[in-house]
Amino acid sequence: MGNRRGRRPRRQKPPKTVVNPDEDFYYYWLMLVSFCVLYNLWTLIVRQSLPELQALAPGTWFALDCSTDFIFFLDILVQFRTGYLEQGLMVYNTRKLAGHYFKSKFFYLDLFALLPLDLLQLSLGSNPMLRFLRFLKLYRIYNFYYMVESRTVYPNFWRVINLIHILLLLAHWFGCFYYLLSEAESFRGDWAYPHRPGEYATLTRKYLGSVYWSTLTLTTIGDLPTPETNAEVAIDLENPENREKSGENNNEIDEKDKVDEENEENKVDDLDKKRSFRVSDEG
C-alpha cells in the first residue's frame, strides 16, 4: 500500500492523432504543402499566358492540380489536430484543437482556397488562373519559412535563397504579364513581343524572351523601346525603378517652379525698393 501511495501519477502521453508543431512530421508536412503552393504560384500564370504549354499535357496538369487540391484538403484535417501553446503548455485536447482552428481566420482561408472555381473551365474553356484562390494558402509558406529559419544553423543563407526565389518569381510573373499584354495589343509596336514565325514562335523562345524582357525592366539595364499605348505605359510604371525616376522628375519640376517663384518675388521686391528710393529723392 505504501508503495502504491508513493507512486507519482504517470504523465499522460499526447494522443497519436495529435500533431506536435515542434516535431519532424509537422516540419515535413509544411514542406509538402509549401511545394504545392509554389506549384500553383509558378504554373498557373504561365499556363494562362502560354496556352500551348497547357495543351502539351492537359492530363498531367489535371492530375497535378487534383493532387495539390487533395493535399490542401488534408492540410485542413492536419490543422484540426495541430497542438498549440496555452499559458506555456501544449494543448492536446482534440475538442480544444478543433475549436481553436475553427475560430481562426486560417480555417476560412483554407475553405475559400478550395472553392472549385476551376470547374467553370467546363463552360469557359481552358483558364488555369481560375484556380487563383489557391494563392490564399501562401501563409503556409511563411510558416515553413520561419520554421526552417529557427532550425537551420545558416539563417542568413536561407534568407538569401528566399530573396533570390522571390526575385525569380517576380520576373516570371512580370514576363507572363508582358506576353499577355503584347497579345492583347496584337503584338504591335516595338515595345511588344516580336510575334514572328520561326524561332520567335516557339514555346521556349516566347517564355525566355518574355522573362528576359521583364528582367531588363526590373533591373533597368539596357535601352528598352518606349511604350506606345496606355496599357504599355501602365505596366512600365509598375516597375519600382521607373516610379522612382518619375518621382525624381516631378521633384525636379517642383523645385524649378519654386526657384522661378522666388526669382519673381525678388524682382518685385527690387522694383518696390527702386520706387521707394525715387520717391524719397523727389521729396
Confidence at residue 129, expressed as pLDDT on a 0 to 100 scale:
94
Q: CB neighbours (10 Å) of residue 206?
A: 20
Domain extent, residue 130, equals: 24-151
Q: What is the pLDDT of residues 24-66, one digit of tens each?
A: 999 999 999 999 999 999 999 999 999 999 999 999 999 999 9
In a domain, 28, yes or no: yes
Q: Does residue 87 belong to any structural domain of this protein? A: yes
Note whether 71 and 143 are same-domain residues. Answer: yes
**Nearest CA to 15 among 81, 80, 61?**
81
Whether 146 and 99 map to the same domain: the answer is yes
Say how many domains are in the chain: 2
For residue 235, the model assigns a pLDDT of 55
pLDDT for the residue 212: 86
Judge if 192 and 270 occupy the same domain: yes
The list of the chain residues with pLDDT below 50 reads: 1-2, 9, 241-250, 252-253, 277-279, 281
Q: How far apart are CA 101 and CA 78, in angstroms?
A: 10
d(CA 276, CA 169) in angstroms, rounded, equals 70
Tell me, what's the pLDDT at 48?
A: 94
Query: What pLDDT sits at residue 194?
Result: 75
In the chain the beta strands, taken as DSSP E runs, fall at: 84-86, 89-91
Q: Is the dihedral of CA 147, 153, 155, 158 positive or negative?
A: negative
Tracing cell 499584354 back to the chain, one arrives at 181
Nearest CA to 171 among 136, 219, 128? 219
What does the pLDDT read at residue 249?
Answer: 44
Residue 91 cell numbers, joined: 494543448
Q: How far apart are CA 253 and CA 145, in angstroms?
A: 44
Identify whether residues 123 and 211 lie together within a single domain: no
Specify whether 142 is located in the same domain as 29: yes
Residue 57 lies in a domain: yes
Q: Are 145 and 29 in the same domain?
A: yes
> Which pLDDT belongs to residue 276?
55
pTM: 0.74
